[in-house]
Structure 1
Amino acid sequence: MARLRPEQLAPALSKGLAPIYLVSGDEPLLVQEACDAIRQAVRQAGFKDRELYHADAGFDWTQVLSAANSLSLFAEQKLLEVRLPTGKPGDKGSKVLQEYAKAPSPDNILLLVAGKLDRSALNTKWAKALEQVGTHIQVWPLPPAQLPRWIGQRLQAAGLKAESSAIDLLASRVEGNLLAASQEIEKLKLLAPDQSVSAELMASVVADSARYNVFALTDKALRGDARGAVKTLQGLRGEGTEPLALLWALTREIRLLVQIGQSVSQGVSFERAAQQARVREQQKPLLQSALRRLKPAQAQQLLRKANGIDKAIKGMRNASPWDELLDLTLNVAGVRSLHPSNDRLSLKLDH
């Protein structure tokens, strides 16, 4: 399978179609655009029909083979699109994909859309079978340092000229959300006089599209991104999120750190400990990162601190839940408490 970056797809499609396409990654806009480009090329090549399948836990993979093998006097060439969000087709799906790859029908194009595929997934039998005959478009998240350049290119493609300060402002507002950035650029196409975008115009028309959600908070804290975690915490507070919901999310991750950290300290491998704790694959690197900063005793102390915050939220302690949530978030990210005296008090009242 030829492995392409998203920007390499258009030239490849202009040279002809592959029988199988695999698009994988966790950046929604780039995945969507890659799929759109494939669909358009397939339509232009005469494949008029499209059948869409969602491969969830109960999916019957034989439907794909049946659709591929169905023949009719009036049948048109078709695109078979299978959504595989987990990136794991299971045993049945793996067998079907391997069988399909042995002899792809010239009357069909298979488009498999998956989430992020790690190295182990790429080494599976089904992935290797597809590798022999298809094309894999790997979509990676855009590094923060490259976001302004990406925005600048998008603005230029939209026929807009923007000041560098305006580009930096948009990059800071969308906080890595490429879909939000694309939507704001579409808005600017309608609002920018003479296709010129100043910093003042950008500030007045661009909404704050940062993805402030609870899971972003915990992920950034576990990764050690203290600044990003604090910004997300502040955004969640501004959106009216209840502190108890944030405490629940942080406490859940801290409990995992305690459980896995204790197992690892007793000689159990991280992979085994994570499996016993039923940790999702994409969560493992984040927990590993946190465990490199926090010893089991420190994680246990954070758990006691979380209990103290719970009492503050419920009015059983005279303390600011938001101040203490800020401290807890920083602690998980590897930063010492801003108010150690409050730590001692909360831990004391926890007993």
Structure 2
Amino acid sequence: MGRWVTRGHSVAEQVRRGEVAPVYCLYGEEEYRRDQALNQLLDALLTEGARDLNLDQIRPGEPGMPSILGSARTLPFLASRRVVLIRGVEDLSKEQQEDLLAYLNDPSPTSCLVLTGKRLDLRTRLAAAIQKKGILLRFDRLEADSVKESLMATAKEQGIRLQPEAISLLMALVGDDFRQLIYNVEKAALFVGERKEISAKDIEALVGETRVRSIFQLTDAVSGRDLDLALRCLTSLLGSGEEPLAVLGMLARQIRLLIQAKALQEQATPVSRMTHVLGLPPRVVAALAEHSASRSWQQLTGAIQSLSRADLAIKTGKAESPVVLSGLVWGLCRV
């Protein structure tokens, strides 16, 4: 009965129709949409009143967590099914994966496994078994055009028009963190009130002129390998209360822009066309083209890896965020 469904709300609709798979796996880097789909699925699988007694949440590797198989084999209480939610599918041990494989050969008709996480190796036997027995949902980061469409749709749902210039500025300031982008659109909708339109000036007013200037100075300094200016901008942003992950998102977006610019350059794309593709002003695109030309693909790949390591270090608390970001900026200015 294995199926591959691309949209989270489709799965929830199937469950409401009584089509319940023994296992679901929601994975991918786009956390906001993944969490949305997970909440929709859980709402469809269990009523709010049944969750306390029939929802087990397990994080592999954490001490004191109940057994996955023990939870899955437990009968539901005053409900039609029991749900076992496993957060962090990438952290499952080999033994736990083998246990799940054995379970999926004979799943309980009154239990449903839901796995979620950032990564899933599709080459593993577990991934093959999930695809055969249940449903896989993959949530990749959206391309820029899809992000813009989603932000415009979010604003439209609230009866607000989001100007294209406002979207470009917001993405430049926030980076590619979809959750933060949606949050800022919702905040801007409240800010404009009855005017029913969000302009670039509204976004700048919400963010603050000083912060806008510091953000652009930071990303420009990193692109231009100006380490002294980049570190001063970073210190200013963190000192003014900027969220470390938001700063990381801005830096990640800048490196991705450099990668896009380099790819377009290698296709002999003129700056006028690059301006349209990237959705940025000509001056900004010209600078990106210049800075990307001075970097090799190996250097840009290394920058992406550095961003990934910094993201993990900040989220797991392995090191203080200012230290992580300072080291990251130093490294990015040296590639």
Distance, in Å, in 2 between the alignment partners of 1:36 and 1:75 is 19
Aligned equivalent of 1:289? 298
Distance, in Å, in 1 between the alignment partners of 2:77 and 2:332 is 64
Tell me the number of residue pairs that the alignment of Structure 1 and Structure 2 aligns: 240
Q: CA deviation at 1:38?
A: 0.9
Query: Among residues 61, 67, 88, which one is paired with 1:63 in the alignment?
Result: 67
Q: CA deviation at 1:145?
A: 4.7
Contact 2:76/2:82 (CA < 8 Å) preserved in 1?
no
Q: For the structure 1 residues 165 and 228, does the alpha-carbon distance in structure 2 shift closer, same or farther, using more than 3 Å as the test?
A: farther
Q: CA deviation at 1:116?
A: 2.1
Distance, in Å, in 2 between the alignment partners of 1:122 and 1:2 is 14
Aligned equivalent of 1:80? 84
Contact 1:81/1:112 (CA < 8 Å) preserved in 2?
yes
Amino acid at match of 1:200: K
Q: How does the TM-score come out when normalised to structure 2?
A: 0.60
| 1:72-127 deviations in Å (ceiling 9; x for gaps) | 77565221101126x1422211111102211222222211012223xxx2111111
Q: How does the TM-score come out when normalised to structure 1?
A: 0.57
What does residue range 30-45 of structure 1 map to in structure 2 within 5 Å? 30-43=33-46
Distance, in Å, in 1 between the alignment partners of 2:32 and 2:171 is 15
| 1:213-244 deviations in Å (ceiling 9; x for gaps) | xxxx9xxx9xxx94699897565232358xxx
Contact 1:47/1:77 (CA < 8 Å) preserved in 2?
no
Q: CA deviation at 1:200?
A: 2.0
Share of identical aligned residues, percent? 19
Aligned equivalent of 2:156? 156
Distance, in Å, in 1 between the alignment partners of 2:155 and 2:224 is 28
Contact 1:47/1:79 (CA < 8 Å) preserved in 2?
no
Amino acid at match of 1:165: E
Aligned equivalent of 2:110? 107
| 1:152-179 deviations in Å (ceiling 9; x for gaps) | 1222233321222112221211111111
Q: For the structure 1 residues 98 and 168, does the alpha-carbon distance in structure 2 shift closer, same or farther, using more than 3 Å as the test?
A: same
Distance, in Å, in 2 between the alignment partners of 1:228 and 1:22 is 41
SS of aligned partner of 1:23: strand
Q: CA deviation at 1:66?
A: 1.0
SS of aligned partner of 1:176: coil
SS of aligned partner of 2:41: helix
Contact 1:53/1:82 (CA < 8 Å) preserved in 2?
yes
Query: Among residues 93, 97, 102, which one is paired with 2:100 in the alignment?
Result: 97
Amino acid at match of 1:20: V
Contact 1:170/1:206 (CA < 8 Å) preserved in 2?
no
Q: For the structure 1 residues 158 and 91, does the alpha-carbon distance in structure 2 shift closer, same or farther, using more than 3 Å as the test?
A: same
Given the alignment of the two structures, is residue 183 of structure 1 paired with residue 183 of structure 2, yes or no?
A: yes
Distance, in Å, in 2 between the alignment partners of 1:233 and 1:130 is 46
Contact 2:24/2:135 (CA < 8 Å) preserved in 1?
yes
Q: For the structure 1 residues 96 and 232, does the alpha-carbon distance in structure 2 shift closer, same or farther, using more than 3 Å as the test?
A: farther
Aligned equivalent of 2:58? 53
Contact 2:75/2:82 (CA < 8 Å) preserved in 1?
no
Distance, in Å, in 1 between the alignment partners of 2:153 and 2:39 is 19
What does residue range 111-260 of structure 1 map to in structure 2 within 5 Å? 111-117=114-120, 121-194=121-194, 195-206=196-207, 226=223, 235-240=233-238
Amino acid at match of 1:12: V
Aligned equivalent of 1:11? 10
Taking only aligned residues, the RMSD between alpha carbons, in angstroms, comes to 3.9
Q: For the structure 1 residues 50 and 201, does the alpha-carbon distance in structure 2 shift closer, same or farther, using more than 3 Å as the test?
A: same
Unaligned 5+ runs, structure 1: 242-286, 294-321, 333-351
Q: For the structure 1 residues 160 and 227, does the alpha-carbon distance in structure 2 shift closer, same or farther, using more than 3 Å as the test?
A: farther
| 1:48-91 deviations in Å (ceiling 9; x for gaps) | 4211111126676x711111212377565221101126x14222
Aligned equivalent of 1:297? none
Distance, in Å, in 1 between the alignment partners of 2:300 and 2:182 is 36
Aligned equivalent of 2:277? none
Given the alignment of the two structures, is residue 22 of structure 1 paired with residue 20 of structure 2, yes or no?
A: no
Deviates further, 145-154 or 89-98 = 145-154
Distance, in Å, in 2 between the alignment partners of 1:28 and 1:158 is 23
Distance, in Å, in 1 between the alignment partners of 2:188 and 2:173 is 14
Aligned equivalent of 1:312? none
Distance, in Å, in 2 between the alignment partners of 1:326 and 1:91 is 36
Amino acid at match of 1:37: Q
Distance, in Å, in 2 between the alignment partners of 1:59 and 1:96 is 18
Q: For the structure 1 residues 26 and 233, does the alpha-carbon distance in structure 2 shift closer, same or farther, using more than 3 Å as the test?
A: farther
